[in-house]
Amino acid sequence: MMMKNGSNNQSSVAVAQIPRKKQFYKTKMCPWFFSGRCDRGMECLFAHSQGELNPIPDLSFTSLCPLTKKSGLCKNEKCSYAHSVCELRPTGDLYKTAPCTKFLRGKCNAEEHCRHAHFVEELRPLPGNLAPSQSAINLMLSSSINNPIQKGTRKITITTTIKIITTITVIIIITITITIIITLGRIRKMKRYEEIDCLSESYPSSVI
């Protein structure tokens, strides 16, 4: 059991480290390749030729300002950090390539602005058109199963939508029914008045 828990922890750490490893994917030449000491082949995160080199990503406004998070205020006008969730921008090719650890733990304050995937179907290919990490997929699937909040998030949304539609439908039906009842009542009154008029016309006027 201890080994199993340890492997789970290792996979979680690996998933959390995916963005750091892939942010600079093949943006530098491999220092071991030209000396014949690189044994990673296609899995190497460094470039083995000039044609493989990727531009260094612009990471400005891709993470929250440490000062703002700590004290709520940053006086640096040239600060390259984001000072609110709305200011955060996607980290280039890394957008939605890793699971959101906060969401998997139960809550993500960034919500729709989050740059990380909240569901397996949101996971995008890693830089270099690499498939999403299997450990990331497994972590998200296990969290969806074990975490009732995540498991029921979409079900709650669908259920809420159905309830709203049902409520609106019931209100419309009740409104139409009341309108019909009121209309029928008015028609009946009009018929009674007509019957009274007919009866009064059928009797001769009293002679004085």
pLDDT per residue as tens digits for the range 55-69: 887 778 878 899 988
- The reply to whether 206 falls in a domain is no
Q: What is the pLDDT of residues 71-120, one digit of tens each?
A: 888 989 899 898 887 787 766 667 787 788 888 888 888 777 787 888 88
DSSP for 89-104, please give it: ---GGGTTSSB-HHHH
137 falls within a domain:
yes
Q: Indicate if 89 and 111 belong to the same structural domain.
A: yes
Q: Is the pTM of this model over 0.75?
A: no
Same domain? For 85 and 181 the reply is no
Residues 127 and 157 in one domain: no
Least confident of 15-29, 50-64, 116-130: 15-29
Residues 93 and 27 in one domain: yes
Residues 90 and 132 in one domain: yes
Q: Same domain for 142 and 49?
A: yes
Decide if 73 is inside a domain: no
For residue 71, being part of any structural domain is answered with no
Residue among 62, 126, 123 nearest 93 (CA):
126
Last residue in a domain, options 146, 161, 183: 146
Kindly give, in sequence order, each residue whose CB lies less than 8 Å from that of residue 99, ignoring residues fewer than 6 positions away: 15, 116, 117, 118, 123, 136, 139, 140, 143
Measured torsion, CA atoms of residues 196, 200, 203, 207, in degrees rounded to the nearest 10: 150
Residue 153, domain extent: 148-198
What is the average per-residue pLDDT within 3-14? 38
The reply to whether 55 and 153 lie within a common domain is no
Residues 119 and 168 in one domain: no
The answer to whether position 205 is within a domain reads no
Is 53 found in the same domain as 15?
Answer: yes
| Residue partners of 67: CB distance under 8 A and separation at least 6 | 73, 74, 76, 79
Domain count along the chain? 2
Query: Do 186 and 94 share a structural domain?
Result: no
Out of 131, 146, 161, pick the residue that ends a domain. 146
Per-position b or e across 49-82, b if 16+ CB within 10 A of its CB: eeeeeeeebeeebbebbeebeeeeeeeeeeeebb
Percent of the chain with pLDDT over 90: 12
Separation of alpha carbons 67 and 182, rounded Å: 66
On whether residue 207 sits in a domain, the answer given is: no
Are 28 and 52 in a shared domain? Answer: yes
Determine the Cα–Cα distance for residues 179 and 41; give it in Å rounded to an integer.
Answer: 76
Q: Would you say residue 104 lies in a domain?
A: yes
Residues 111 and 175 reside in one and the same domain: no
